Copies of this chain bind each other. A is one copy, B any other.
Amino acid sequence: MKENLVITISREFGSGGHEIGEKLAKALGVPFYDRQIIEKAAEHTGFSAEFIAEHEQRFTSSLMFNLAMGNYTRTGELPLHDQIDIVESNIIRDFAKEGSCVIVGRCANYILEGDYDCLNVFVYSSNAAKLDRIMSKYGYDAKKAEKTIKETNRSRSKHYSYFTGRIWGDRNNYDLMVSSEKYSTDEIVELIKCAAEKMK
């Protein structure tokens, strides 16, 4: 594998992307960043990790709503989710600077574009496969699983568009897109390893 390669993994909720990223990092012997980004952001901002986790995804892009909710405390100050985005972007750049790693989510492919060697991966699967996975992982019934999948993926998609001006899951943002449906987690890890090793 080339030196200092950052593998970014974007993933549909329910596709198993987090687990794939974690196993991939272990297989490559490089750091894995997902929850750690939240923890670092908590350190930097003084908010709790739970507060960051809640507000990095559940944002609104409506100015009026932000005003009503008091997110604009002074004229010219950014809404909270924008502030969190900026802090997290800096953390992601710091992680990439340290060398090869696997980063899950948070528009890392966009943040590092042009400055670091990246292999940008998107993991997805069919609605039925996502439903199966979430029902068995969290013990949800089909209705709750479906609602959670829909809302979480809509939220990821909205955040990606808001932050990057691009479309989440659009092939032009990724080097490799793989469906987790016909593969085990270990097989996909091997496949991404294979792609990382061959990268120019």
Binding site for B on A (CB under 8 A): 119, 122, 124, 126, 169, 171-172, 174-179, 181-184, 187, 190-191, 194-195, 198-200
Contacts and interface: CB of A to CB of B under 8 A. Distances in A.
Contact of A126 (B172, B179, B182, B200): B172
A189 to B, nearest CB: 10
A176 to B, nearest CB: 5
Given A122-B171, A177-B178, 5 more contacts: A126-B172, A171-B179, A175-B181, A178-B195, A182-B200
7 contacts: A124-B171, A171-B177, A174-B179, A176-B176, A177-B177, A184-B200, A194-B194
A182 B196 CA distance: 11
Q: How many copies does the complex hold?
A: 2
Contacts of A191: 191, 194-195, 198
A194 B199 contact: no
Nearest to A199: B182
B190 A194 contact: yes
Given A187-B198, A198-B190, A171 B171 contact: yes
A195 B179 CA distance: 11
Nearest to A120: B179
Nearest to A173: B179
Which 9 A-B residue pairs are closest in the complex by CB-CB distance? A177-B177, A187-B198, A194-B194, A175-B179, A182-B200, A124-B171, A176-B178, A171-B177, A191-B195
